[in-house]
Structure 1
Amino acid sequence: MRSFELRNAHFDRLVNTPDLKWLGQNTNHAKLHPAVIEAMERCIQDEEFHIYAPPAGLEELRAGILDDLGLQGLSTLVSDGAVASLYHVCHTFLQPGDEFITTDPTWNWPMAFARSVGATVKQIPIYGDEYGYRLAPERLAAAITPKTKMVYLVDPNNPLGTACTPEEIKAIVKIVRDAGAYLIHDCTYRHFAYHHTLAATLYPEKTITVYSFSKWLGLAGLRIGAVVAHGNVVEQLASSPPNNLGSSIFAQRAAAAGLRTKAEWFPAVLAQQRDNQRLIKDASEKIEGLRMPVYPSNGNFIVLETLGAGVSPEALVAEYQKHKIMIRQGAYHTPTFGDRFVKVSVSVPQEWVQEFVDLLPTLIERARGRNEAVKLF
């Protein structure tokens, strides 16, 4: 069977596993604000799904995204999710021979999109105490070449949870501007950060901000996101989009309602996921060799290093699967550093996290005894 078939069958099994606890995809499983549910129900009752949405998105939603980011004066193009936005950006602005620079680890799919149009990909390692689990601007400067066309920055970083400081963003922006390159600022996890600085406030002309509703609002299955950029950049993107008939009006109604009610609903979600981080931190400190290198995380997830405990990440993932708990092995994010860690999502009900930590000592011991290779995606 072809690899994509195997991969799809794996995720199909997950989706069709009753009562699976999703602690591996960074999705938000908090109960939605009633207004979001009402917006979706109204869309179905009114049978709005018979019509196409505006090609760039509902005006209310476009304005709401700009208000949420505080980037008035820029333009918004609503998309079928943040990943679709990244695909669109890479296929619009990259050509064969261009250079695409990102970190290791990073979100993998934009690298595949860059390679698919003939660009070369360069990764700057940031995993480890020697790097502070973050991108030092001087290391980015050293990696830039005359062929650099695009720098891709996931901030906060997925899977590490580190976020750039204002000083780091200022330095990164200067480096990218001096190179005449585009800066993709993937802010998928921005809403969970303690502090976050938008590069677009300093480099509006060529910063492309990627926005997601999958994580903070929990609409992952509805596939709704956006690109925010200078009007000239959005004009180029809007001239040949992968979907010129508008993203799902059902998803857009839900997203718009989410923005309207965010101040009422999201603070409790944020507090809960930070409490969940603390639960895992406390539990991990009781197990010799287990380590949480980034705490607190600026994302809705944490990294647990298992290497010091003599445990394979894949083995630990497989042990949790027996209990219908999904966590993510490091190799999903990085082949270079993937043997060191697992990632656990925490924007989930606290009882899910409590079950995870209650099982942790036992499953660490069981995973330590597994020597066979475990095939995972």
Structure 2
Amino acid sequence: MSNAEERNAYFDRLCNTPGLMWLGQNTNHFDPHPSLRDAIIQAFDEGEYHAYAPPLGFETLRALIGQDVGLPDASVMVTDGAVEALYNVCSHVCEAGKDFVTTNPSWSWPMQFAARHGCKVVELPIYDPAQQYKLTPEQLRDAVNENTGVIYLVDPNNPLGTCHTAAEIREFAAIARSVGAYLIHDITYFHFADHHTPAYRFYPEKTILTYSFSKWLGLAGMRLGAVIANAGLIERFASAPPNNLGSNVLSQRAAIAGLRNKAQWFPEINRRQRRNQAEVLRAAQAVPGLSIPVYPSQANLLVMETVDAGVTPEALVAAYQEHGVMIRQGSYHTKRFGHRFVKISLTVPEKWADRFCELLPAMVERARAIDVPANQY
């Protein structure tokens, strides 16, 4: 079996596990606002899915996304998920021989997109309490030069949950401008942050934001995201996109409803996921050797260090899967630091988070004895 087929079979098993508690993919499993269901059913009943959507997305949705990120004058391209957005962007801005500068840890797929286009991937380590587990302006300034083509920043960071200040974002934008680099600001988790600043405000010429509906609104399986940039860049991305026939009509109608009702619904979602964070912190503190390095997280997840408890992340993941709970091993994000931690996603029903906490002491003991699986993804 090829690696791709083995990976697919792994997730197929998870998807077909009855009652699986998904605490590993940062997706939102809370019930949606009722308007989403109504919007999807209405669009289906009216047969909207028989026609292709506009290639950049419904105008109403484009406007709502711009308003949501505080950039109503920027241009928006709706995509089949934020992954497609990043794939399209990287296809247009990555050049062979140029440096693609990012952090370690980060989200790994854009690094693969960049490498495929011949970029040299430069990873700046940020797993360090001395720098508050995030990139510093000095660190970035020392890493860039005239050969830097792209700077990729996930903010808030996945998996660490740290978020940059407005002053830091301003400096990153100035550094990118100083070498003429594109700045891809991946804002997938910004809805969960106490404060967030889009880099586009400081460097609209070459800043590109990527936006997701999977995490805050819970449309992961409906595949919807967006690219936000100036009109000239959006024109480039629209010239040869992976999909030129418009994104899923039902998903777009759901997203419109979600954005229109966000103020009524989302604050309670964020309160509940912060409640879950607090419970996981309490549970980790009760088990010798476990720790939560970033708290509260500015994303809908927590990193839990296992290395001082004498437990490998992979073994702990396997132990939890025996009980129908999915968490993620750190090596998914970083080979350098992945041996230190697991990631726990917390936009989930309270009973799921509480089950994780209840099992934690026994799962640590089980992980000490378990054979580490050969492949986890």
Partner SS, residue 153 of structure 2: strand
- CA distance in 2: counterparts of 1:269 and 1:216, whole angstroms: 8
Aligned-pair distance for 1:370?
3.1
Q: Give the C-alpha shift of residue 18 in structure 1.
A: 0.8
Q: Does the alignment pair 1:167 with 2:175?
A: no
Superposition map of 1:86-97 within 5 A: 86-97=86-97
What is the distance in 2 between the residues matched to 1:72 and 1:36?
Answer: 23
Superposed displacement of residue 128, structure 1 = 2.4
Cross-structure match for 2:328 = 328
Instruction: Report the alpha carbon displacement of residue 105 of structure 1 after superposing the two structures with TM.
Output: 0.6
Tell me by how many angstroms 1:336 deviates.
Answer: 0.6
Corresponding residue for residue 257 of structure 2: 257
Q: Match for residue 134 of structure 1? A: 134
**Aligned-partner SS, 1:183:** strand
Once residues 33 and 181 of structure 1 are traced to their aligned partners in structure 2, the CA distance between those partners, rounded to angstroms, is 40
- Written as runs of structure 1 = structure 2, the 5 A alignment for 1:125-274 is 125-274=125-274
- Report the 3-state secondary structure (helix = DSSP H, G, I; strand = E; otherwise coil) of the residue aligned with 2:352: helix
Task: Give the conservation status (yes or no) of the 8 Å contact 1:318–1:374.
Answer: no
Shift of 1:96: 1.1
- Partners of 2:174 and 2:294 in 1: how far apart? 27
Cα offset for 1:373?
5.0
SS for the counterpart of 1:77 is strand
Cα offset, 1:155, TM superposition: 0.1
Residue matched to 1:26: 26
Amino acid in the other structure paired with 1:320: Y
State the match for 1:305 in structure 2. Answer: 305
> Structure 1: how far apart are the matches of 2:329 and 2:248?
32
Taking the aligned partners of 1:133 and 1:329, their CA distance within structure 2 comes to: 18
Q: Distance in 1 between matches of 2:249 and 2:371?
A: 49
Task: Tell me if 1:344 matches 2:344.
Answer: yes
- The alignment's TM-score, normalised by the length of structure 1, stands at 0.98
Query: SS where residue 60 of structure 1 aligns?
Result: helix
Asked whether the 8 Å contact 1:315–1:374 carries over to 2, the reply is no
Corresponding residue for 2:283? Answer: 283
1:53 matched to which residue of 2?
53
Residues in 2 aligned to 1:354 and 1:280: alpha-carbon distance in whole angstroms: 8
| Residue identity in the other structure for 2:304 | L
Q: Where does structure 1 lack aligned partners over 5 or more consecutive residues?
A: none
Structure 1 residue 94: deviation in Å? Answer: 1.4
SS in 2 for 1:239: coil
Structure 2 unmatched ranges of 5 or more? none
1:119 aligns with 2:119: yes
1:129 CA displacement: 2.1
Aligned residue-pair number: 377
Deviates most, 233-242 or 7-16 = 233-242
* Residues in 2 aligned to 1:357 and 1:93: alpha-carbon distance in whole angstroms: 44
Tell me the TM-score normalized by structure 2. Answer: 0.98
**Could you say which residue in structure 2 is the equivalent of 1:318?**
318
| Matches of 1:312 and 1:225, distance apart in 2 | 34
Distance (whole Å) between structure 1 residues aligned to residue 75 and residue 138 of structure 2: 31
Q: Deviations over 1:104-158 (max 9, x none)?
A: 0111110111111111111000012243210011111111021111100000000
Letter in 2 for 1:184: I
Structure 2 residue 357 is the aligned partner of structure 1 residue 357? yes
